A and B are shown apart, each in its own frame.
Chain A
Amino acid sequence: MSVTKYESQLREPLVNGNKTYGQVTHDIVHTIEAKPTRLWYIGFYISVALLMFGAYSVYREVVYGIGQWNVNRTIGWGWDITNFVWWVGIGHAGTLISAILLLFRQGWRTGVNRAAEAMTIFAVMCAGQFPIFHMGRVWMAFFTLPYPNTRGPLWPNFNSPLLWDVFAISTYFTVSLLFWYSGLLPDFATIRDRAKTKLRKRLYGLASFGWSGSTKHWQRHESLSLVLAGLSTPLVLSVHTIVSFDFATSVVPGWHTTIFPPYFVAGAIFSGFAMVQTLMLILRKVMGLQDYITLGHIEAMNKVIVLTGSIVGCAYLTELFMAWYSQVPFEQDIFFKYRIAGPYGWSYWLMMTCNVISPQLFWSRKLRRNVLFTFIMSIIVNIGMWFERFVIIVSSLYRDYLPSSWSIYYRPTIWEIGFYVGTFGLFFTCFFLFAKYFPVIAIAEIKYVLKTNGESFKNEMAELESKNVDEFIHEMHHDHHEEGTVKVTHH
């Protein structure tokens, strides 16, 4: 068994410490079985408080109308859509980790995929609030659905990017949820079978759908995960492409560009990975999961951050170049007079510093493996990416084609801010509940990589590597022979 899969010593083990399967189960499940800590309660109550403030802000918007916000002509999209795009973008990293890295056979995804996927689901839940409440008359939100109605029937406009959004976001949420939950079934069964209280046994028994671990079920489960990953991969690219179409199909200067889809997707993955870092660094520290979310994992994610950050940087420069090269005066004015300069110039340069310049520090291996630096950087990147959306939306809207409809300086009201803060509350309330009651690391998947990529395997391989070639080959054949799965001819 030991040499059936060769892994270079240059690759770090994915699981540190010489763990057995039982230890893996215990390490991940024991926090679920223990009482919540005081720190957990503090964090949870703060989140719920933020959520309540958000709920009140939304209540005011629903009762008194959109006038509770400072969005106005011509800045019809302000913080709300900025937040929408920001949250959707954050969600993308979870799908990238769980789906795209699965297709690329990146073993390190197993340590972080469960929590990252949870982050995706919660982030999409937060994102969805903004366009829904921005409708103003939120009780009419179901008008976006194509159902037979008494108004004709009058159908929604299938040519509109805003309707594409409805389909994209709801599909994205549903598929992510299914992918996540199907992966959770075996882990719920693990918790169920070692439950020591009746309530836990009942609830996890319910949640595990009667999972038994049958070989046939596992075979289908693996096939299901692979196909869902294959479906999610183009899906995640399509979702932010469609979000970028909200802008790109308009005729607003600064929005009307074909670079938007790849630029938005790269930005989404960039900000999403930053959020994954923020959450993982806290999670591994608080829950003692350093053996599963190793420095190697953190470094791998930082590499993705520096890559996508550089792509985003290229996109910013390309936009500037194309504005000049197009020789369209409106485009040139938007970029050179009102975006990099003008009253909102500060937000442009904040974005540039946070998204393009600061991630370049991750070219240094030392900094990539520095936990504190990574944590600070992950926050900086998320601030930068929020400002990217703010810059795109506001700086294109406040100076339009007609100088008569130019707007005054836009600043949000407390209820606009409250709505945003409230989604943080929603996100972290969900995440705290997830961290307490769900296996934050995919237990079965870790066990699957344990014998091939765990530290004990690495040591075994190091021993083998120190031998000379003849001995190595002999041992390899001997091993297979014992196993009886591979026929070997001895010379």
Chain B
Amino acid sequence: MNTKTKSTIVLMVVLSIGSVAFGRIKLVALPERAATVIRLDNPAATLIEEERVLTLQQGLNNVDFSWKGVSIDADSIRLQALDNPDKVTLLSVSYPPNEAALVWDISCKGDFAETVRISYLLSNIDRLITYKAVADKAETAVDLKSYLVLRNFSGEDFEQARVLLDYGEAFEQGIDHEETKQMLFLRAPKVPIRKIWTFDAAKLPWDPEKLENQNVGIPVSYRIVNDAGSKLGKFAMWGGKARIFQDDGHGSTIFLGEDVAPLVPVGEKMELYIGDSRDIVVTQRKMTDTRINLRKNNKGRVVLYDTDEVITAKIENFKDSAAALTMIQHIPGQWDMDKCNLKYVKKDANTLEFEIELPARTESGPATKELTMHYHRRNIRQ
């Protein structure tokens, strides 16, 4: 048990003669905690495994396991004999009244010291993952570092424990109650990235001219693929806060932005939104929206119609470098495209995605592309 602070988890071997009654305890042994494992592979719960040596007597033994000030899921507690499992039998588990404790009744076929492993789910001890990435000046690759943050607010001090994640090697680490430790556990230099600008017509204002003194920022993201080509791909990357910096070319860095990375399985991509570009300007306008092909009922009332719609979008790149804008347009319901001057991919029934390559600004002004979408929505009921 921990020597620095008061113990909160206590294990007692209650040696009794002839009876299990607590009033007749003759000797109490407090076995030391030996190898301890903190297993953090499940983000929802932390499993503690600790080994202790119990001095068992032939016959019935009571082992009292109690905890105070810590939150242990009582139903999760397990006991496993390691040295002589065939000679040690767990007969029953009883819970004393009004106490955070349980008593194991153990039958033993001889007098010996037995190493047992006690495991339980302990609350308020967990781990977080954070990322720090430094992009090169050209924004083609990042030096990626990932940190493991151990947080122990369980009430229990762990002087030394083997800490296990669901990947990577186990390591020895002590952590006290209310202590937080941050450790570097992944370093991946020069991970290729792709920079993406996205204009989603459903999320951003269409006409910046109608906004008073406000820029419309086009979201900018970095895309990282968790695969061998990116020098990653060995295991799923846990989700966590990612802070992204960039080499400024003067031996220093600037902070580009931060985002929450989701859990990224091997082969999947991670997209980190870093900030907004105000040097790409999209001005989208609806130029036509009328009803055509009216169909009427016997009373002359329109019951079904189509539409004739034209949307134009002017995309200007004021940057002195080229950019690839992903433009997302939405057309609800049943529709068909009459004419569209740019190529698109239909992502689903109502979503169109355009990949628009924008050259850099020239001396004569911003690089400009225009999208004109002439489409009809069909069979709309009045």
Tell whether A and B belong to one assembly: no
Chain A residues at the B interface, C-beta cutoff of 8 Å? none
Chain B residues at the A interface, C-beta cutoff of 8 Å? none
